[in-house]
């Protein structure tokens, strides 16, 4: 997706060794026009599949998920909530997710009634790096016995192991851009 | 907004004494069609004003803010981030926000470069109760010397003091529905 690559080249900030900040247009300030273009591209990729619900995780996936839901004819969005709850509620699916960037482990949760075996779920997120957030979402999808329609990622760090881990579990990923490496602060796309 | 009232009556859950859960359609699962109708109504209310940016706070305001941004011709969205950071960064506006529901105080922050005196800001949030989150957002807007185009709230708890506190600061609020009270677990609209 060339528009997105251009945007990343122009406004993305590399923080050595391997953090890419896109908070000018994707996950703090959000360019809603870009969001729409991203969503249209996901519609092209997954439009042939049955999709009844868009699933993501708070906070930076939410705007993207809504934009994709619009393109699929205004279907519902569901976002997993983050938190460290001491009590495990019976009415929630939960997963432990480790963030390597922040070096913390948190609980993600989804109310059981909103994710059922009737659902055909398209999972959307802004980044795929070590794949831990996506694996957590998929674990909750497995608990709910949903049908996975696809996994759509905006920016994949191709040099980290997310794709490999997901593949090992039997899941294919569609990423709009894949970063091969950061070299002297520059972004090299695959 | 009758559609929203009906939705709240049908799917909202009152947890005594004064919590309204709308996580089936607004802030966990999100009905994107309803989101669009809400956004159109905000466009009718604020369409006469100059608006260059939609501002909200994570996480439940984000989908609404994007939907409103679409209606205003795909302008940018900005969401304040929540967290308890020990370090105050020079490049951030910050505000302390107390949540009465959760009985915690947290920091909200916005990168200075994304909120400037050129901005005409429409603030959007899902709930107005004690007004603390909105006052925090407005404090950051004041620090940035933006022009406030309006404040749009989806559900206002009319029996709490949010509106009064905002009025005292000189701000008017447009709420799509106002709850007068909860009576024996039922919702009474104003």
Whether residue B81 and residue A74 make contact (CB cut-off 8 A), yes or no, is no
- Tell if the pTM clears 0.95, that is, is over it: yes
Nearest to A125 by CA among A133, A117, A115: A133
Q: Is B101 on the interface with A (CB under 8 A)?
A: no
DSSP for residue B102: T
Q: Is B78 on the interface with A (CB under 8 A)?
A: yes
We report the CATH number of the domain holding residue B30 as: 3.40.50.2020
Q: Calculate helix-pair angle for A32-46, B62-71, nearest 10 degrees.
A: 100
The nearest alpha carbon in chain B to A81 belongs to B28
Position A84 confidence tier, pLDDT thresholds 50, 70, 90: low
A81 reaches B (C-beta below 8 A): yes
Q: What proportion of chain A, given as a percentage, has pLDDT over 90?
A: 89
Is residue A162 a contact partner of residue A128, using CB atoms and an 8 Å limit?
yes
Q: Which pLDDT does position A151 carry in this prediction?
A: 98
Give residue-wise pLDDT tens across range A53-77. 999 999 999 999 999 999 999 999 9
pLDDT tens-place string over residues B71-80:
999 999 999 9
- Please give the residue of chain B at the shortest CA–CA distance from A65: B63
Please judge whether A59 and B62 are an interchain contact, meaning their C-beta atoms are less than 8 angstroms apart: yes
| Best residue in B32, B34, B40, B106 for a mutation probing chain A (most A CBs within 10 Å) | B32
pLDDT above 80 for A85: no
Interface test with B, best of A7, A60, A66, A115 (most B CBs within 10 A): A66
CB atoms within 10 A of CB B31: 20
Chain B, nearest residue to A110 by Cα: B28
What the block records as the tokens of A179 is 């970063």
Interface test with B, best of A25, A30, A94, A116 (most B CBs within 10 A): A30
Q: Do B30 and A70 touch (CB under 8 A)?
A: no
To the nearest whole Å, the CA of A141 is away from the closest chain B CA by 15
The closest alpha carbon to B28, from A65, A162, A84, A32, belongs to: A65
Q: From the list B66, B74, B78, which residue is nearest A66 (CB)? A: B66
B63 Cβ under 8 Å from any chain A Cβ: yes
Pick A67's closest partner by Cβ from B58, B66, B75.
B66
Q: What is the DSSP string of A98-126?
A: EETTTTEEEEEEEEGGGS-TT-EEEEEEE
- Whether B36 sits inside 8 A of A74 (CB atoms) is yes
Is there a contact between B136 and B130 (Cβ–Cβ < 8 Å)?
A: no
Provide the domain limits for residue B179: 2-189
**pLDDT reported for residue A1:** 87
Disruptive mutation site among B66, B91, B116 for chain A (greatest number of A CBs within 10 Å): B66
ipTM: 0.96
Under 8 Å between Cβ of A159 and A99: no
Counting the structural domains of chain A, the total is 1
Residue A77 token pair? 């969005």
> Tens-digit pLDDT profile for chain B (190 aa)?
899 999 999 999 999 888 999 999 999 999 999 999 999 999 999 999 999 999 999 999 999 999 999 999 999 999 999 986 656 678 999 999 999 888 899 999 999 999 999 999 999 999 999 999 999 999 999 999 999 999 999 999 999 999 999 999 999 999 999 999 999 989 999 9
From the list A32, A75, A114, which residue is nearest B77 (CB)?
A: A32
Total residue count of chain A as it appears in this document: 190
Q: Name residues whose C-beta falls within 8 Å of residue B60's C-beta, 6 or more positions apart in sequence.
A: B26, B27, B125, B126, B127
The verdict on B66 touching A (C-beta cutoff 8 Å) is yes
* Residue A62 touches chain B, beta carbons under 8 Å: yes
């Amino acid at each position: 997706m060339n528009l997105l690559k251009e945007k990343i080249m122009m406004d993305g900030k590399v923080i050595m060794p391997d953090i890419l900040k896109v908070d000018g247009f994707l996950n703090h300030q959000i360019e809603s026009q870009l969001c729409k273009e991203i969503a249209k591209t996901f519609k092209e990729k997954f439009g042939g599949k049955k999709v009844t619900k868009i699933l993501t995780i708070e906070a930076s996936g939410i705007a993207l998920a809504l934009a994709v839901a619009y393109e699929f004819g205004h279907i519902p969005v569901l976002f997993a909530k983050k938190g460290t709850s001491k009590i495990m509620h019976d009415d929630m699916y939960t997963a432990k997710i480790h963030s390597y960037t922040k070096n913390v482990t948190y609980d993600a949760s989804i109310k059981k009634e909103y994710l059922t075996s009737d659902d055909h779920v398209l999972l959307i997120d802004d980044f795929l790096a070590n794949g831990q957030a996506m694996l957590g979402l998929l674990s909750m999808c497995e608990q709910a016995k949903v049908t996975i329609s696809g996994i759509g990622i905006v920016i994949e760090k191709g040099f980290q192991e997310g794709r490999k881990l997901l593949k090992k579990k039997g899941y294919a990923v569609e990423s709009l851009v894949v970063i091969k490496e950061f070299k002297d602060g520059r972004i090299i796309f695959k």
